[in-house]
């Protein structure tokens, strides 16, 4: 017995050493069994490539991973079934499809049908926490209603903190597309939502018809996303069965699940007095989101307070900004709602304010939720734009088209057709020039694609309405609108099992990593049954 225990100890130490030396993702060393994964996403077009990756890998003869469930985000880049945003345009985009089919849950189900995968139910985050707010038609520079203005009631999905006014749902007339359609927290990212619905749904349906594939029925109407996550986490802990939660959008669902467990652990199957950190022996997470500005060293003053942004932007790694009434994705930033552009900048950037010195859309949308996840004590691997921007999609659709005999599969044809359907297209939403953000993240669970570093002191600015306990709390409330939200930084005040990947591991002869990630995805989608 002693020898057996000694062997287990030595084996455990060996695993720990290997993990520390090679920076393998937290979940990858749990056991020789497939990595059990729950996938949480916000419905952006590339999320569906990640779903295909997980579903196809789960069906291999010796599966490296097992997709056991999918949870969806209400305020990401696909619509909820009952979304109130710009209804006329949504009807135009849906065409002959039903609102149910065009929702984030419906789209997820279509893509699982393309992979013919039936072993993961879909749990919706829509309506988990929603309210009706009165949005002012006119507001001042800081979002406060102008005297005498009219208000329009708008139904919105609430963020983790449950404060619709500041985080960040204080959009007013300058953010309105066309009356009476208001763009609010769960509707802000109109451009990507429209592009997703315009291309993802019809191309998914076309693939199912071309290959005569059966539809799947996987949406669970009874259990909400956060409830499912909380129950699954406690069940995994109780059975000592490792579980990884992968998020590629806002982490609202997971943050809520953590809070549910804290508030009533026995309801979800956990021991009565358990702490979140106690779950770390079984639960691990990986998140696509955030960006660390490696080129900016003056984020803090001598007192450790977070600095105000420069009056003129210094473009960094962030991926969102607002210009001339449209959200544009690129190496730019999005101003916080209510920002007055007129007296801040001039020239071509007059309507672009650098309120996000260092922000990425997933973490920006619900920064308090990220704060909850990073400070839970549960292992978290973060895959920011610093790493994912190496994983180029460019040319991938053409590669599939150039290999018709190998790639005559539903998953391959689906990806190809989505890429080509929007290429060439005016503006910036040309899918073939973007990245495998989310696919890289989930594939890294069982592939050595990323260099992870210990970032146990990783923090995020949350803009909690002048709370003096936060990094941004030293400022008057009005100034909060000119601050960074969703900014990842390392101040050294916390100690949590958090790791960050700032770079990738290209294969030999592929210094920019593009071929490495494309070879992986190509092999998976072009050899599937």
List domains and CATH numbers for the chain: 35-296+372-459+490-525 (3.90.245.10)
Choice between 348 and 287, residue whose per-residue pLDDT is larger: 287
Residue 306 or residue 171, greater confidence = 306
Residues 251-258 have a mean pLDDT of 97
The yes-or-no verdict on residue 338 having pLDDT over 50 is no
pLDDT tens digits, residue range 315-332? 456 765 543 333 333 333
Q: Which residue has the higher pLDDT, 492 or 163?
A: 492
**Using 50, 70 and 90 to split pLDDT, how confident is the model at 411?**
very high
Which of 337, 365, 338, 334 lies closest to 352, judged by CA?
334
Q: What is the pTM of this model?
A: 0.84
Which residues face 488 on adjacent strands? Answer: 460
Measured CA to CA, the distance from residue 470 to residue 473 in angstroms comes to: 5
Distance of CA 264 to the CA centre of its chain: 27
So what's the pLDDT on residue 189?
57
- What percentage of the chain exceeds 90 in pLDDT? 47
- Residue 512: phi, psi to the nearest 5? -100, 0
Tokens representing 520?
């992986």
For residue 437, what pLDDT is reported?
A: 95
Residue 368 binned pLDDT confidence (cut-offs 50, 70, 90): confident
- In DSSP notation, 306-372 reads BPPPPSS----S--EEEETTEEEESSS--PPTT---TTT--GGGTT-----TT--HHHHHTHHHHHH
Average pLDDT over residues 178-195: 51
- Mean pLDDT calculated for residue range 119-137: 85
Listed ranges 67-71, 160-164, 195-199; the one with the highest mean pLDDT:
67-71
The predicted pLDDT at position 512 comes to: 86
Query: Mind listing the pLDDT tens digit for each residue in 3-44?
Result: 434 433 343 434 343 343 334 556 544 457 999 999 999 998
pLDDT at position 304: 54
E strand residue ranges, 87-129? 121-124
Question: Is residue 54's pLDDT more than 60?
Answer: yes
pLDDT in tens, 488-511: 888 777 899 999 999 999 988 898
pLDDT at 349 over 70: no
Q: What is the DSSP pairing of strand 130-136 with strand 151-157?
A: antiparallel
- The pLDDT assigned to 109 comes to 98
Q: ω before 122 within 30° of 0 (cis)?
A: no
- Confidence band (pLDDT; 50, 70, 90) for 159? confident
Tens digits of residue pLDDT in 274-313 = 999 999 999 999 999 998 866 554 455 555 555 544 433 4
Position of tokens 């003129």?
312
Q: Is the pLDDT of residue 390 over 60?
A: yes
Residue 335's pLDDT is: 37
The whole-number pLDDT of residue 318 equals: 72
Which DSSP symbol is given to 497?
S
Each residue's pLDDT tens digit, 212-224:
999 999 999 999 9
Average pLDDT over residues 369-380: 95
Query: How many angstroms separate the CA atoms of 331 and 386, rounded?
Result: 12
Condensed to tens digits (0 to 9), the pLDDT of residues 65-98 reads 999 999 999 876 677 887 766 566 677 888 899 9
Of 292-306, 375-389, 392-406, least confident by mean pLDDT is 292-306
The whole-chain average pLDDT of the chain stands at: 76
pLDDT of res. 140: 56
CB 481 within 8 A of CB 355: yes
Instruction: Count the Cβ atoms, other than its own, within 10 Å of residue 166.
Output: 21
pLDDT at 430 over 60: no
> What is the reported pLDDT for 459?
85
Give Cβ neighbours of residue 293 (< 8 Å, ≥ 6 apart): 299, 316, 317, 357, 358, 487
* Both tokens assigned to 241: 């069965």
Rounded to the nearest 10 degrees, what angle do helices 104-115 and 45-57 cross at?
40
Task: Check whether 185 has a pLDDT greater than 50.
Answer: no
Look at residue 181 in the predicted model and tell me its pLDDT. 35
Residue 431 has pLDDT above 80, yes or no: no
Q: Which of 255-259, 312-316, 440-444, 520-524 has the lowest mean pLDDT?
A: 312-316
Distance of CA 114 to the CA centre of its chain: 22
Does the pLDDT of residue 466 top 70, yes or no? no
Q: In the predicted model, is pLDDT for residue 199 greater than 60?
A: yes
Q: Which residue has the tokens 């920011």?
A: 384
Mean pLDDT to the nearest integer, 108-116 = 98
Mean pLDDT check: name the lowest of 188-202, 292-306, 379-393: 292-306
93-107, 302-316, 428-442, 466-480 — which is least confidently predicted?
Answer: 466-480
């Amino acid at each position: 017995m002693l020898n057996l225990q000694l062997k287990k100890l030595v084996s455990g130490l060996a695993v720990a050493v290997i993990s520390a030396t090679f920076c393998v993702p937290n979940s990858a060393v749990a056991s020789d069994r497939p990595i059990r994964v729950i996938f949480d996403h916000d419905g952006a077009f590339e999320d569906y490539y990640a779903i295909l990756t997980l579903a196809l890998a789960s069906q291999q003869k010796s599966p490296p991973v097992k997709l056991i469930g999918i949870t969806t985000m209400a305020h990401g880049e696909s619509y909820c079934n009952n979304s109130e945003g710009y209804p006329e345009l949504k009807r135009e985009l849906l065409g002959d499809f039903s609102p149910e089919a065009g929702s984030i849950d419906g789209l997820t189900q279509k893509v699982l049908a393309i992979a013919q995968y039936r072993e993961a139910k879909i749990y919706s985050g829509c309506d988990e926490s929603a309210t009706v707010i009165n949005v002012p038609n006119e507001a001042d520079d800081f979002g406060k209603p102008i005297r005498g203005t009219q208000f329009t009631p708008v139904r919105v999905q609430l963020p983790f903190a449950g404060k619709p006014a500041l985080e960040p749902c204080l959009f007013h007339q300058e953010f309105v597309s066309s009356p009476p359609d208001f763009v609010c927290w769960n509707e802000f990212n109109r451009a990507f939502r429209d592009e997703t619905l315009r291309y993802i749904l019809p191309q998914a349906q076309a693939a199912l018809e071309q290959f005569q594939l059966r539809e799947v029925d996987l949406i669970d109407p009874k259990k909400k996303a956060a409830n499912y996550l909380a129950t699954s986490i406690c069940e995994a802990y109780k059975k000592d069965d490792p579980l990884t939660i992968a998020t590629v959008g806002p982490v609202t669902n997971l943050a809520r699940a953590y809070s549910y467990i804290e508030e009533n652990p026995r309801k979800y199957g956990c021991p009565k007095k358990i702490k979140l950190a106690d779950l770390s022996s079984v639960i691990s997470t990986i998140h696509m989101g955030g960006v660390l500005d490696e080129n900016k060293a003056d984020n803090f003053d001598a007192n450790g307070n977070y600095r105000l942004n420069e009056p003129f932007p210094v473009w960094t790694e962030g991926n969102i900004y607002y210009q001339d009434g449209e959200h544009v994705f690129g190496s730019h930033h999005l101003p916080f709602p209510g920002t007055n552009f007129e007296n801040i900048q001039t020239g071509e950037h007059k309507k672009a304010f650098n309120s996000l010195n260092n922000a990425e859309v997933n973490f920006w949308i619900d920064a308090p939720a990220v704060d909850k996840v990073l400070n839970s004590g549960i292992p978290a691997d973060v895959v920011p734009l610093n790493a994912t921007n190496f994983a180029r999609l460019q040319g991938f659709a053409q590669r599939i088209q150039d290999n018709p005999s190998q790639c005559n599969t539903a998953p391959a044809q689906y990806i190809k057709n989505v890429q080509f359907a929007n290429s060439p297209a005016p503006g910036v939403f040309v899918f073939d020039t973007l990245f495998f953000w989310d696919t890289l993240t989930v594939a890294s669970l069982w592939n050595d694609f990323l260099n992870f570093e210990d970032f146990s002191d990783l923090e995020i600015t949350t803009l909690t309405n002048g709370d003096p306990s936060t990094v941004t709390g030293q400022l008057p409330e009005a100034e909060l609108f000119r601050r960074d939200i969703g900014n990842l930084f390392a101040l050294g005040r916390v100690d949590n099992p958090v790791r960050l990947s700032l770079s990738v591991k290209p294969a030999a002869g592929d210094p920019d990593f593009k071929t490495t990630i494309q070879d992986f995805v190509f092999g998976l989608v072009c050899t599937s049954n």
